[in-house]
Structure 1
Amino acid sequence: MTLRAAVLGHPISHSKSPALHRAAYAHLGVDIAYSAIDVTEAALPDFMRQVRAEARADGSWRGLSVTMPLKSAMVAEVDEARGVGSALGVVNTVAFESEGEATRLVAYNTDVTGIVNALRYAGAASAPNAVILGGGGTAAAAVAALKELGAVSAEVFVRDVSRAAEARAASAAVGVPIRVLPLAGAAAAVAAADVVISTLPPRAADALAGELAEELAAHPSSALPAHGSPGVLLDVAYDPWPSRIAAVWQEAGGTVVPGLEMLIYQAVEQVRHFTGLGEALPAGVTDVMCDAVGAPRRVF
């Protein structure tokens, strides 16, 4: 029997998750077929009822990767959310775990690990002055990631300050105070930050990028972090790449982390869950996943 896993979201055709997971399972010799399925938030309950029925019938399902706009809605569709996913109320991973003759759907948030690893491998060992762009589900994971990096607070810039509930909830859950501010006028704070995590959709930061270019050109290095150049920018939007804000940041001498790297590192954690290998997952799996999407290999 071929086992099954999939990435769910809307839209989903752009997703690189199938390439990452298929490369991992081929390397491991595990027979898991991984597909991309377009599911809207409204359609999610019916879809998950179907998945549960299939899991009871043949036990073929092993995991679901969850992307926007389903990361919060999925919590209501599983039997349990564990770890930071439970604290945040935002998940991106569902594992199918056998319990006797029953199958339990258990959700996790591997985005946090993905963000932490992406930043650490770029040299951001800490985040004393941190900015997050966006206030949704991925921003919630970013708040939790900043906690792991030692941040004591963060500024969160959003297009609509009334729609940052997930970031606010994450702040309360992990104990990192945040200030939610309008995205317009964020350029000065972004330029001065040691770590910037953009969770905005593709092209949503283009206007800010123009303002940021002017800000960086107008101010001396003394207005920037202690090293005199922009810090580390992680832009989770990886298509198209480079994004306009990433290009501006890099031109000014800052370190840019493509969202593709975060995607890889969170997917590694998903493979651990879907295969049941956990910490026994061979290190070489990460290399083949990087190769599958043209990303540089890192030392783990």
Structure 2
Amino acid sequence: MLGRPVAHSLSPVLHRAAYAALGLDWSYDAVDCGVDDLADVLAARSGWAGFSCTMPLKHAALDVATEVAPLARAVGCANTLLPADGGGWVADNTDVAGIVAALAEYAVAPSTVTVLGAGGTAQASVAALLALGVGACTVLVRDPARAGVVTATGERLGVEVTVAPLAPDADALGADLVVSTLPPRAADPLAGHAWTSRQAVLDVAYDPWPSALARAAGDRGAKVVGGALMLLHQASVQVALMTGEQAPVDDMRAALRAAVPDAGL
């Protein structure tokens, strides 16, 4: 697991549980790594079976890769690096699958979608709309001038992206599905919005949980999908890619529940 900060990550819990269930004598470690460190960190670990990448590396992973999987190229960022034939690394993206699978567990089938934030997970959220049969969304950001990467994702995938300022009274917060990709606590000011029971909210931030946003939406009857569930499903795809085996999702879920009983799984 590469990123900065990374000590808080629950990915080691998931991957270690998967390897144990598969009978693999593998390790999975959290390695503090910034953008400028990435090439050297990978060079020093050329024999590893793969890496999970979190912020701030989701765009940098494309730059260091010798190959880029079609989905990662379309999304414009990657959260996974796998060994390439002949050396180097293949960049891939499992966040999209994680979002789709997490929403499927709650039978979320929206007609309208709003995404909060414009980073790598927001890009994956836009890509996930294709699997949901949704061709447009609104992206709410604090600084609309910084939304270029997420609008570019929409252009590559044929998803119409409308950018608007992030504010507690934004009309777009009334969408059938609201996906918050904001850092922990950054969405707290939106807790006072008039959420309704016809809505679903996916908050990818899982520490602390429930977030103020998730608690407020749930109290008003909305379906609330937690970030730990997305993490579980994106990690299961990583495990399959890294090991060549079907991921033991039930074992991974049990390990995550034991580590964080209140994570909303």
Q: Note whether the superposition's TM-score is higher than 0.5.
A: yes
Q: Distance in 2 between matches of 1:22 and 1:153?
A: 38
Question: Given the alignment of the two structures, is residue 87 of structure 1 paired with residue 69 of structure 2, yes or no?
Answer: no
Indicate the residue corresponding to 1:219 in structure 2: none
Question: Given the alignment of the two structures, is residue 121 of structure 1 paired with residue 105 of structure 2, yes or no?
Answer: yes
8 Å contact kept, 1:157–1:182:
yes
Percent identity (aligned): 45
Q: Distance in 2 between matches of 1:94 and 1:31?
A: 20
Question: Given the alignment of the two structures, is residue 232 of structure 1 paired with residue 214 of structure 2, yes or no?
Answer: no
- Residue 185 (structure 1) shift: 4.2
Residues 1-300 of structure 1: pairs in structure 2 closer than 5 A = 7-51=1-45, 55=46, 59=47, 61-97=48-84, 99=85, 102-124=86-108, 126-190=109-173, 192-210=174-192, 212=193, 215-216=194-195, 229-277=197-245, 281=246, 285-294=248-257
3-state SS of paired residue (1:70): coil
Q: Work out which of the two has the higher radius of gyration on C-alpha atoms and give 1 or 2.
A: 1
Q: TM-score, normalised by structure 2?
A: 0.93
8 Å contact kept, 2:65–2:89:
yes
- Residue 35 (structure 1) shift: 0.2
Q: Distance in 1 between matches of 2:167 and 2:6?
A: 29
Q: Distance in 2 between matches of 1:276 and 1:175?
A: 32
Structure 1 unaligned spans of 5+: 1-6, 217-223
- Residue 46 (structure 1) shift: 2.7
- Residue 186 (structure 1) shift: 4.7
Q: Distance in 1 between matches of 2:169 and 2:64?
A: 36
Q: TM-score, normalised by structure 1?
A: 0.83
Q: Which moved more, 1:264-273 or 1:36-45?
A: 36-45
8 Å contact kept, 1:233–1:256:
yes
Deviations 1:212-247 (A, max 9, x none): 1xx34xxxxxxx5xxxx2411110000000000000
Q: Distance in 2 between matches of 1:254 and 1:270?
A: 30
- Residue 127 (structure 1) shift: 2.4
Q: Distance in 1 between matches of 2:253 and 2:209?
A: 16
Q: Which moved more, 1:34-43 or 1:257-266?
A: 34-43
3-state SS of paired residue (1:128): coil
3-state SS of paired residue (1:34): coil
- Residue 77 (structure 1) shift: 0.6
3-state SS of paired residue (2:81): strand
Q: Distance in 2 between matches of 1:179 and 1:188?
A: 13
Deviations 1:126-181 (A, max 9, x none): 32110100011000000000121011210000111111122111111111101111
Q: Distance in 1 between matches of 2:206 and 2:11?
A: 12
Structure 2 unaligned spans of 5+: none
- Residue 45 (structure 1) shift: 2.8
Q: Distance in 2 between matches of 1:159 and 1:49?
A: 37
- Residue 297 (structure 1) shift: 11
- Residue 209 (structure 1) shift: 1.6
Distance 1:68 1:208, change over 3 A: same
Q: Distance in 2 between matches of 1:186 and 1:93?
A: 36
Q: Distance in 2 between matches of 1:186 and 1:29?
A: 51
Q: Distance in 2 between matches of 1:31 and 1:81?
A: 28
- Residue 207 (structure 1) shift: 1.1
Larger fraction in strand: 1
Aligned residue pair count: 261
